[in-house]
């Protein structure tokens, strides 16, 4: 989609549709909506008087222009109460209106820039939210649909009308938002791929293509190299699969120092059957997305390679399948992680923490100054927080605060969970250094406490995206399938740290 910042009178723009916004309780029209209403001989104000246009959140009303202005149609999207407006409501509204216009065969539309002080929303933030909403809301994944789609309509162009003096800043904001949203959609593509087309080797290939396209350095370690590093967690999970494991390292250098300011580690289980502790068949097909954490950290590197903040960031992705076979890891087995710690494996379906143990150990070895990992780690987090919030766990409150603030700005909700030492007691083993599961209670927290053993004193945040990595509904800028969470959160974090 071509997104442009333009100036001038919106009533004179040649486009398929004009999108206007209205708050609930709207009565007196002013500004651009008043200008459009006047050009339409009061059609908008009459619909307001009749109660057709109420300004309710995400309410969409279509008005035909009947040739009175160059645009064929005028669409009014409700934003709800003015006092409750935030950027996420703007993002969702523009996603909804884009899908509405696509269904109504509009190839392009123009809209008036929001913001300029409404609830502290700057014009730049508004432009970013509108851009992100449009790109994210129109996302589809139909790569394997062979039947011809009768509806070939696409929205090719969006014009955001702003003031001439603001144009350079707005264009910069729109460009950044486009880069971020397109990377989130790329992440969605990776997550939505079927497991037979997104093996560990395929994931490494996708990472390689992305790195080459955006000037990032990449190293992909094979099984022999993984063995030399002593990554017993990754090797243990991989031993049940015919697909060899990969350990993917992607580097972004935004400054001359060799220090690694931040490691982003992502769980890369390209398919999770549960291993010998096999999952129920219902819903197992969704386990193709158990590498959403890996996809999100790679998507984040794709963004920062283009925005070029002054910071050094490394992405680490341990990638494997988790399958049952005659060679698979068995309940009761003991393996040794890269840092030398022995793990009693009581449940082979608690495999994500095993491969992340090696990734986190590697991050400590390369002396990362801070670590954030993201993983579809536990069903327990889904039970605790549903599909609304990402669980945040940390050994460092200042870093946790930064992650939470980054998520709030992105509109990707997160919630910090406790990390009391008492939870670690559930993981004590009689025959090894640690067990890979505790009892049935507080499972998301005991999983995080397991990971904490491998970061030592390095400032660290764990993001459990088991509930937020995908969705089964279409609402706002989220559509069925992978969500791209938490790419936009991680991008905000990196940009904030770079300051």
Q: What is the pLDDT of residues 329-387, one digit of tens each?
A: 999 999 999 999 999 999 999 999 999 999 999 999 999 999 999 999 999 999 999 99
The CATH number of 182-498 is 3.40.630.10
The residues of the chain that CATH labels 3.40.220.10 are 2-163
Residue 392 pLDDT level (bands cut at 50, 70, 90): very high
Report yes or no on whether pTM surpasses 0.85.
yes
What's the mean pLDDT in 62-72? Answer: 96
Residue 28 pLDDT level (bands cut at 50, 70, 90): confident
Query: What pLDDT, on a 0 to 100 scale, did the predictor assign at position 147?
Result: 86
Query: What pLDDT, on a 0 to 100 scale, did the predictor assign at position 149?
Result: 74
Name the token pair of 371: 């670590």
With a cut of 80, say whether residue 326 has pLDDT above it: yes
Instruction: Report the Cα 41 to chain-centroid distance in Å.
Output: 44
Residue 114 pLDDT level (bands cut at 50, 70, 90): confident
Q: What is the 3-state secondary structure (H, E, C) of the chain?
A: CEEEEECCCHHHCCCCEEEEEECCCCCCCCHHHHHHHHHCCCHHHHHHHCCCCCCCCCCEEEEECCCCCCCCEEEEEECCCHHHCCHHHHHHHHHHHHHHHHHCCCCEEEEECCCCCECCECHHHHHHHHHHHHHHHCCCCCCCCCCCCCCCCCCCEEEEECCHHHHHHHHHHHHHHHHHHHHHHHHHHHHHCCHHHCCHHHHHHHHHHHHHHHCCEEEEECHHHHHHCCCHHHHHHHCCCCCCCEEEEEEEECCCCCCCCEEEEECEEEEECCCCCCCCCCCHHHHHHCCHHHHHHHHHHHHHHHHCCCCEEEEEEEEEEECCCCCCCCCCCEEECCCCCEEECCCCCCCHHHHHHHHHHHHHHCCCCCEEEEECCCHHHHHHHCCCCEEEEECCHHHHHHHHHHHHHHCCCEEECCCCHHHHHHHCCCCCCEECCCCCCCHHHHHHHHHHCCCCCCCEEEEECCCCCEECCCECCECCEECCCCHHHHHHHHHHHHC
Query: What pLDDT, on a 0 to 100 scale, did the predictor assign at position 27?
Result: 85
Mean pLDDT of the chain: 96
Cβ of 129: how many Cβ atoms within 10 Å?
A: 26
CA dihedral for 249, 253, 259, 261, sign (positive or negative): negative
With a cut of 80, say whether residue 233 has pLDDT above it: yes
Please list, in sequence order, all residues whose beta carbon lies within 8 angstroms of the beta carbon of residue 494, skipping any fewer than 6 positions away. Answer: 262, 300, 304, 309, 311, 313
With a cut of 80, say whether residue 137 has pLDDT above it: yes
What's the mean pLDDT in 257-265? Answer: 97
Spatial CA neighbour of 384 closest among 414, 354, 355: 414
Percent of residues, the chain, with pLDDT higher than 70: 99
With a cut of 90, say whether residue 218 has pLDDT above it: yes
Q: In what order do the strands lie in the sheet with 334-336?
A: 334-336, 342-344, 434-435
The residues of the chain that CATH labels 3.40.630.10 are 182-498
Query: What pLDDT, on a 0 to 100 scale, did the predictor assign at position 490?
Result: 98
Name the token pair of 33: 């909506």
Cβ of 308: how many Cβ atoms within 10 Å?
A: 11
Q: Please list, residue by residue across 419-430, b when 16 or more beta carbons sit within 10 angstroms of its beta carbon and e when fewer do.
A: beeebbebbeee
Ranked by mean pLDDT, the top range of 26-35, 151-160, 266-275 is 266-275
Catalytic site positions: 279, 353
Q: Which fold has domain 2-163?
A: 3.40.220
Q: Helix 123-137 to helix 167-192 angle, to the nearest 10 degrees?
A: 30
Spatial CA neighbour of 62 closest among 42, 72, 76: 76
With a cut of 90, say whether residue 153 has pLDDT above it: no
What's the mean pLDDT in 84-101? Answer: 96
């Amino acid at each position: 989609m071509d997104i442009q910042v333009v100036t001038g009178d919106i009533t004179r723009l040649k486009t398929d549709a004009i999108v206007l916004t209205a708050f609930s309780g709207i009565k007196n029209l002013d500004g651009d909506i008043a200008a459009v209403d006047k050009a339409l001989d009061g059609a908008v104000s009459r619909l307001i008087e009749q109660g057709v246009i109420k300004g309710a959140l995400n309410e969409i009303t279509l008005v035909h222009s009947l040739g009175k202005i160059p645009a064929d149609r005028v669409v009014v999207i409700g934003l709800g109460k003015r006092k409750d407006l935030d950027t996420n409501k703007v993002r969702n509204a523009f996603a909804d209106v884009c899908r509405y216009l696509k269904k109504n065969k509009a190839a392009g539309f123009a809209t008036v820039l929001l913001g300029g002080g409404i609830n502290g929303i700057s014009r730049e933030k508004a432009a970013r939210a509108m851009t992100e909403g449009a790109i994210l809301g129109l996302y589809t994944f139909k790569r394997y649909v062979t039947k011809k789609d009768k509806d070939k309509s696409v929205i090719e162009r969006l014009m955001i009308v702003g003031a001439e003096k603001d144009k350079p800043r707005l264009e910069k904001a729109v460009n950044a938002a486009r880069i971020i949203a397109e990377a989130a959609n790329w992440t969605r593509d990776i997550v939505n791929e079927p497991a037979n087309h997104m093996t560990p080797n395929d994931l490494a290939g996708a990472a390689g293509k992305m790195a080459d396209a955006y000037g990032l350095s990449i190293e992909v370690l094979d099984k022999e190299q993984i063995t030399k590093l002593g990554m017993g967690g990754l090797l243990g999970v991989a031993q049940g699969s015919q697909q060899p494991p990969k350990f993917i390292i992607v580097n972004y250098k935004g400054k001359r120092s060799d220090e690694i300011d931040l490691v982003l580690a992502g769980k890369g289980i390209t398919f999770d059957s549960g291993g010998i502790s096999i999952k129920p068949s219902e819903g197992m097909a969704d386990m193709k997305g158990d590498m959403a954490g890996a996809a999100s950290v790679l998507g984040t590197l794709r963004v920062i390679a283009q925005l070029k903040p002054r910071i050094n960031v490394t992405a680490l992705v341990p990638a494997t399948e988790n399958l049952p076979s005659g060679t698979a890891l068995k309940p009761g087995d003991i393996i040794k992680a890269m840092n030398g710690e022995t793990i009693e494996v009581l449940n082979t379906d608690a495999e994500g923490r095993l491969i992340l143990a090696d990734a986190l150990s590697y991050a400590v070895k390369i002396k990362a100054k801070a670590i954030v990992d993201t993983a579809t780690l536990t069903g327990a987090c889904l039970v605790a927080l549903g599909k609304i919030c990402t669980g945040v766990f940390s050994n460092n409150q200042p870093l946790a605060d930064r992650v939470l603030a980054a998520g709030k700005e992105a509109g990707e909700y997160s919630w910090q969970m406790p990390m009391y030492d008492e939870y670690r007691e559930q993981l004590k083993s009689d025959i090894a250094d640690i067990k890979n599961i505790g009892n049935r209670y507080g499972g998301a927290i005991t999983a995080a406490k397991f990971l904490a053993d491998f970061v030592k004193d390095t400032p660290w945040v764990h993001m459990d995206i088991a509930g937020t990595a995908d969705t089964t509904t279409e609402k706002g800028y989220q559509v069925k399938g992978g969500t791209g969470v938490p790419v936009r959160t991680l991008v905000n974090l990196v940009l904030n740290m770079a300051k």
